[in-house]
Amino acid sequence: MTRTADIVIIGGGIIGVSIAYYLGKMGAKNVVVFEKDLIGMGSTGLCAGGIRRQWSTEVNMHFALNAFEVFQNFKEEFGASPEFHQIGYLFLARDEEELETFKKNIELQNRFGVPSKLLTREEVKEGWPFLNLEDVFGGAFCHTDGYAGPSEVTNAIAKGARGYGVKFLEKTEVISIEMTGNRIVSVTTKEGSVETRTVVNAAGPYAANVGKLAGVEIPVNPIRRQLFVTDPFDKIPPSVPLTIDHKQNFYFRREMECVLLSGPQDKEPSFNLTTDFNAMVETAEKAMYRVPVFEKANIARGWAGLYEISPDNHAILGKIPEVEGLILAVGFSGHGFQHGPAAGMAIAELIWNGKSETIDIAPLALTRFKEGKAIKESLTAFKD
């Protein structure tokens, strides 16, 4: 156990390792990442890996664009393939109001240079005739969206961080944060204490628990969501986009020869990571309704992960005035994997240069909730 650290990062998912990597790249020499499990094995490793540039707010557009560039150039930077499959994202509109919302979102996306487009019901039918569209009014589609491998990406970034001298301490949970007055002076694990003046809370669904160690209330709740995978299934094309029925809280995409199906998400917060039969039945019913040929598919397995949900489905980033030395990188609400590299760069800049230069993260400060400045994302992975 190291005795001192210039910067301690709590959480070894995509957010924590990305912050560590960019700090190392900028020249930080004494960075330590504490992960209570194994690197990338928490919510990051259990996510579906989606990457898209279809968003409804400018701040999320900035994160998406910056992260997208990292994923496109990932092999050159990190020496490993991110397994980025650009199959496209298709959002289905279930009524005229949702279609109008998609239209406004696309106007925003197009201003940022994203090639998304609005589709009529007939165009959706022509492109993907296996879909049941009896209650669909149209869609929003971007062919450059897709998904990548959470494990491949996170481990490659962690390897890059280690190359810059970052220390990763796995199976090491931070159990207390010590302060003198309102300034952080150390963190403690069961293995010992580390003196530090800077702590980054990148603990994902455990963000609120870590916040309490420093006496800070962080409005981030862990919400279980379940995923299921079929046996090999050849009744739909291999090039099918990640297709989202937003109102029904359901999506599907190819998982090699199989199909990944999104299951339900809980209403109440918990750290429950079990899968259950009722969820599988509900998922199968939604799948067969939207794609009737899924009646011939067989669900082979499933797993559960945790969303880290903020009140407005946007991340909570930046310093906390009440606690000197504490920085938040939490609350990504199901978007952490795809925004991870951009968030990592922004927080590393905040620590190293005193401000984030690539993205203005000021609108995502914790204080926005008390100030009545919450920002609602209509294209969130989490539907409340």
242 DSSP β-pair partners: 89
**pLDDT of res. 384:** 41
155 with 299, same domain: the answer is: no
> Each residue of 132-177: pLDDT tens digit?
999 999 999 999 999 999 999 999 999 999 999 999 999 999 999 9
233 with 305, same domain: the answer is: yes
**pLDDT of res. 379:** 80
Q: Which strand (E) or helix (H) includes residue 121?
A: helix 121-127
160 with 298, same domain: the answer is: no
**pLDDT of res. 90:** 98
**pLDDT of res. 377:** 85
> Each residue of 14-32: pLDDT tens digit?
999 999 999 999 999 999 9
Angstrom distances, CA of residue 151 to CA of 38, 175, 201: 11, 26, 21
> Each residue of 294-340: pLDDT tens digit?
999 999 999 999 999 999 999 999 999 999 999 999 999 999 999 99
> At 273, which CATH number?
3.30.9.10
CA atoms within 13 A on the CB side of 165: 12
> At 339, which CATH number?
3.50.50.60
165 with 303, same domain: the answer is: no
Instruction: Tell me the average pLDDT of the chain.
Output: 96
Tokens linked to 104: 């406004």
264 with 171, same domain: the answer is: no
**Sheet architecture: strand order including 221-230:** 117-120, 138-142, 89-93, 242-245, 250-255, 258-265, 221-230, 299-309
Asked whether residue 195 is domain-assigned, the answer is yes
Asked whether residue 341 is domain-assigned, the answer is yes
Residue 29's domain comprises 7-49+150-219+312-368
Going 103 to 252 to 145 to 365, the CA torsion angle's sign is: positive
Distance CA 137, CA 260 (A): 24
Distance CA 23, CA 17 (A): 10
**pLDDT of res. 1:** 67
**pLDDT of res. 376:** 86
Tokens linked to 236: 């739909």
Asked whether residue 378 is domain-assigned, the answer is no
| CB contact set of 354 (below 8 Å; sequence gap of 6+) | none
Decide if pLDDT at 248 tops 90: no
**pLDDT of res. 381:** 66
